[in-house]
Structure 1
Amino acid sequence: MTFKGLTTVTTFRKGLVLALGITMTALTATACGGGDGDVPAAAGPNEHVELTLATFTEFGYEALLPEYQKLHPNITVTHRKTGQGGPYAQDMMTKLAAGSGLADVQAVEEGHLSDVLAKSSKFRDLGEIGPADAAADRWLSWKYEAGKDKNGKLIGYGTDIGPLAMCYRKDQLAAAGLPTDPEAVKPLFATWDSYFTAGAQYAAKTGKAWFDSAAQNFNAMVNQLPVGYLDKDDKLTLETNQGIKDAWQKVTDAVAKGESAKLTAFSNEWNSGFRQSAFATKVCPAWMIGVIKEQAGPGNAGKWAVTPAFPGGGGNWGGSYLTVPTQSKHPREAAELAAWLTAPEQQIKAFAATGNFPSQTKALESPQLLNSTDAYFGNAKVGELFAEQAKKVGKPQYKGPNDGQIQDNVAAPALQAVEQGAAAADGWQQLVDGAKKLAR
C-alpha cells in the first residue's frame, strides 16, 4: 500500500495550534479527578439514541460511521465536521464555557489538550464509563497517559499520533559533500549538536538554509524535555528551566550561522519553500510526509528521503483524542462509540483512508501498516519506520493551561524576531514576558 498524502488543511490540525481568540479566564472551573457521580443509565436495546460526533479536518471516519450504525441499529450518529482546527477549538471552548452545545463525542487536538485537561470536571471519566475492552494496553503508554488529568482521570481516547523522524533533500546534501543514504545520514541527526553542526557546514558550503524555521525545531526540542513551559503546579518554568534555555541558545546560534530559511510554518512562503528548495532538512512527524509531497510537488519526487533518526532520540508532534463532555445526555453510548472508533481495527481503516498514523499497539503491528511504502520517498517503508519511532517516545511531558498558546503565540513570534535581526537575548525576554502574561 502507498502511504497516503494528507491535504493541506489536515496539517493545520496536526501541526499548528492557532490562537483561540478567547481568554482562558472565561473558564474557571477547577480541574478534578474522582468519580463521575450521576451517570445516566445506558439505553435499552430497543430505545433509539441519537449521538453527535464533532471532529475537524480529516479523521477518516466517513466510512466508519455507517458501519457503526449498522452494528448498532438503535443508534444514529450525526457527524459535525469542521474544516480547520483553529475555529473548531475556539467554538469548542466557547461551548464548554457556556455549558451547552458540545457534541456527545468531541475531538480534541493535542495542542489544545492541556486547556481541556485543566477543565476535566466538564468531561466524563472514560476509565469509569468506557467499555472494558478500551483498556490502557490498547494504546502506546505515553499516548494513553497524556489523556489523563493530573489526578489520573481519563478524559480522552487517543486517535492518531505524529512520531518524529527527519526528512531531507538528498540532492542538496550531496551538493554540500554530505552523505545522502538514510543509514549514512544518521550520525548527522543523532543529537541536536550534531544536527546544527552539520547545518553550519551545509550553510557555509552552499550559502543556503539547512532548515525551514527556528520555531519548528525549538518546538520539537522543548517537547523532548522532562519539564516544559509549565510544571505540574502550573507555574511557569522559563527562568529556571535550563533545558529550554539551552534549546533557545542552540536554535538562535544556528540562526546566526545562516541555517534558517526564516519561514513561518504553514504560510504561503513556507509552502513555496518546498518547491523552491529553500531548505535541506525538515523536522518530520508522520503526517509531514503528506505535506512534503503536496507542497514540494511531482517535480521533486525522489529527491526527498526520510531516516529513522531524530536528534535526542525521538518525540511526538500531533494527534488527537476523543472525549465525552458531561453535557452529553447519553455518555455511556458516547463512550462506546469513541472506544469503537479508536479500536485498532478502525484506526487501521482510518490510516488507509487519510494517512493518520494510529496510536494503538496492535495497529502498529498490522502488516497493512508495516508494509506501507512511499514511492515519493524512494519507496521507503514509512509505515514500519514511523511505527518504530512511535515506540521511542518516552513519558509524556506535562502540559499546563495555555501551553500551546505559549508555543505558537509567544515562542514562535519571538524566534521569528530573532530571524529578522533581533538579538537572541531580546527574543528570549520577549518569550519570557509574553509567557508570563498567558500563565497568570
Structure 2
Amino acid sequence: MLSTTAACGSDEGSTVTADVELTIATFNEFGYEDLLKQYQDTHPHVRITHRKTGKADDHHQTMFTKLASGSGLADVEAVEEGWINQVMAKSDQFNDLTKIGPSDVTAERWLQWKSDAASNRDGELIGYGTDIGPMAMCYRRDLFEDAGLPSDPDAVGELFATWESYFATGDRFVAKSGRAWFDSASQVFNAMVNQNKVGYYDRDDNLVVESNEAIKKDWDQVTAAVGGGQSAKLVAFGNEWNTAFKNAAFATKTCPSWMLGVIEAQSGPENEDKWAVTASFPGGAGNWGGSFLTVPKQSKHPKEAAELAAWLTAPEQQIKAFTAKGAFPSQNEALLSPALLNQTNPYFGNAKVGALFAEQANKVPAAQHKGPAAGQIQDKVFADALQAVESGVEVDEAWKQAVEGATKLAK
C-alpha cells in the first residue's frame, strides 16, 4: 500500500511517496543522521522518520509507557544497556531477530558479551548491538607535568594499574597541586561497578546491593578518595561539570570511548593536546555504555524494520557512526577493520584511538547482568548518595540511603 510521509528528520524534509514507512527512535547521539539518508537513497521504497530524544531517561520512560499501552512504539527502538534487562523481561513483546532479520545476521557477528546481553533464555536475539563503551583513562598531560608526575601515555600505565594505585596517585597529586584528581565520585564508582562480575543484581534478578562485597569495596575506596579531597564534586553533565573541563578543574577522567567527544566539546580548541588517553585502566578492562536496536511486535513492518536495524549495525555503518559521533563498534569484523584501527584523534595528541579502544573491547570477559532497575540504581540512587557524601553527609548514612533507595526501586 502506498503512503505519504516525511523523509528522515521528521521536522524537515520534503513529502515523498513510499511503499514502506518506518520510524526509528533513538536518544543522545547515535551518528545515524547521514546513514538514514543513505539508506533511503539505496532503498527508494522506504521512508524513515527519526524520533530523536535528548535524554536516555526520557526515551526509555516513553518507550515503556507505549509498550504498556500497546501502541505508539517506533518500528525500531533503541535500548541502552542499563535498560536492556527491562526489555528482556518483556521479550515476548519484541521480535526475535533471528527469525525476522536477514539470514546472514547472527549473534556471532558481535562480541559475545554484547550479543549475550540481548539474548533471552530461549535463545532469542532481541536486539542488534550498536555501540559499546570500552574503558580507558583520560588525563590532563599538563597538570601531570606540573605535579611532577609522568605524562606520556605509556609512562602513566603504572599509575593506573589498579584502583589502589590510582587513588594513591590521586593523594600525591592533590597534595602537590591543590587540585581535584577526578570530576565526580559517581563517575568513578560507575566505572568500578561495571567491572565487577556481579553488579547490583545476580543472574536471577535478585537485588544484591547490600550483600555484594565488591560494590561495598568500591564504595569505600571512592568515598575515602572524596574524603581526601580527590573529587571536584561535580554533577556529571551539568553546567558546572561542562565548564570545569575548560578550567582544568580536575586531572583525570574515566573514559569510555564515547567520552572523547564530550571532553573535546567541553574543553574547547584552546585545550587541544593538553588531554591524553591511555589504554591502561585501573582493574583491567571494563565497559560503560552501548545500546541495541530492537523491533517491537507493535511494528507493522517488522521484516523491513529488522533489515534497517541490521544495516545500521553492520560493520561499515558502525565505523561511520564512530567517525561521526564516537559510537564505538561492537561487531567483530569492524574491530578488525583498518578503517577503524588506523583512526587517530588529533585533539588527544594523535592518539590511535581506534586501535586503543578495540584492544580494550576485546579484554572485556563477559556481559555483566544488569537486572531490571540497574540503570536507575546507577544513575539515580548511587549518584545521589555519592553526591550527598561530596556535600558533607556521613559516608555510613549515605550508604544506608543508597541501599534503601535501591531496595525501593527494585520492588
CA distance in 2, matches of 1:50, 1:156: 21
Kindly state the Cα deviation for residue 119 of structure 1 after the two structures are TM-superposed. 1.5
- The answer as to whether partners of 2:261 and 2:325 remain within 8 angstroms in 1 is no
CA distance in 1, matches of 2:393, 2:41: 60
Q: Which amino acid aligns with 1:349?
A: K
CA distance in 1, matches of 2:56, 2:74: 16
Residue number in structure 2 paired with 1:233: 204
Residue number in structure 2 paired with 1:297: 268
Residue 214 of structure 1 pairs with residue 182 of structure 2: no
SS in 2 for 1:327: coil
CA distance in 2, matches of 1:111, 1:310: 22
Q: Which amino acid aligns with 2:294?
A: T
Residue number in structure 1 paired with 2:10: none
Structure 1 stretches of 4+ with a deviation exceeding 4 A read: none
Kindly state the Cα deviation for residue 70 of structure 1 after the two structures are TM-superposed. 4.0
- The answer as to whether partners of 1:105 and 1:324 remain within 8 angstroms in 2 is yes
SS in 2 for 1:233: coil
Q: Which amino acid aligns with 1:163?
A: P
SS in 2 for 1:106: strand
Q: 1:439 to 1:150 in 2, by over 3 A?
A: farther
Residue number in structure 1 paired with 2:387: 416
Residue 398 of structure 1 pairs with residue 369 of structure 2: yes
TM-score, structure 1 as length reference: 0.86
CA distance in 2, matches of 1:73, 1:176: 59
Q: 1:128 to 1:303 in 2, by over 3 A?
A: same
Range with bigger deviation, 275-284 or 53-62 = 53-62
TM-score, structure 2 as length reference: 0.92
> Among residues 106, 109, 113, which one is paired with 1:135 in the alignment?
106
> Among residues 154, 176, 183, which one is paired with 2:125 in the alignment?
154
Give me the identity figure in percent: 64
SS in 2 for 1:178: coil
Q: Which has the higher strand share?
A: 2
> Among residues 32, 38, 47, which one is paired with 1:67 in the alignment?
38
Residue number in structure 2 paired with 1:278: 249
SS in 1 for 2:255: strand
Kindly state the Cα deviation for residue 68 of structure 1 after the two structures are TM-superposed. 2.7
Residue number in structure 2 paired with 1:361: 332
Alignment of 1:4-43 (within 5 A): none
Alpha-carbon deviations, 1:181-222, whole Å to 9, x = none? 100100111111111111111112222211111101111111
> Among residues 304, 325, 329, which one is paired with 1:333 in the alignment?
304
Residue 83 of structure 1 pairs with residue 54 of structure 2: yes
SS in 1 for 2:242: helix
Query: What residue ranges of structure 1 are gaps of 5+ in the alignment?
Result: 1-46
Q: 1:145 to 1:364 in 2, by over 3 A?
A: same
- The answer as to whether partners of 1:118 and 1:400 remain within 8 angstroms in 2 is no
Q: Which amino acid aligns with 2:155?
A: A
CA distance in 2, matches of 1:363, 1:212: 32
Kindly state the Cα deviation for residue 236 of structure 1 after the two structures are TM-superposed. 1.2
Range with bigger deviation, 108-117 or 154-163 = 108-117
Kindly state the Cα deviation for residue 354 of structure 1 after the two structures are TM-superposed. 2.3
Q: Which amino acid aligns with 2:389?
A: V
SS in 2 for 1:145: helix
Kindly state the Cα deviation for residue 49 of structure 1 after the two structures are TM-superposed. 2.6
CA distance in 1, matches of 2:193, 2:95: 30
CA distance in 1, matches of 2:20, 2:205: 40
Q: 1:423 to 1:150 in 2, by over 3 A?
A: farther
Kindly state the Cα deviation for residue 275 of structure 1 after the two structures are TM-superposed. 1.0
- The answer as to whether partners of 2:131 and 2:327 remain within 8 angstroms in 1 is yes
SS in 2 for 1:63: helix
SS in 2 for 1:362: helix
SS in 2 for 1:383: helix
Kindly state the Cα deviation for residue 138 of structure 1 after the two structures are TM-superposed. 1.2
Kindly state the Cα deviation for residue 150 of structure 1 after the two structures are TM-superposed. 4.5
CA distance in 2, matches of 1:352, 1:306: 17
Q: Which amino acid aligns with 2:284?
A: G
Query: What residue ranges of structure 2 are gaps of 5+ in the alignment?
Result: 1-17
Kindly state the Cα deviation for residue 80 of structure 1 after the two structures are TM-superposed. 2.3
Q: Whose RCO is larger (CA < 8 A, sep 6+)? A: 1
Q: Which amino acid aligns with 1:284?
A: C
Residue number in structure 1 paired with 2:217: 246
Q: 1:285 to 1:245 in 2, by over 3 A?
A: same
CA distance in 1, matches of 2:396, 2:325: 42
Q: 1:150 to 1:225 in 2, by over 3 A?
A: farther
CA distance in 1, matches of 2:44, 2:350: 43
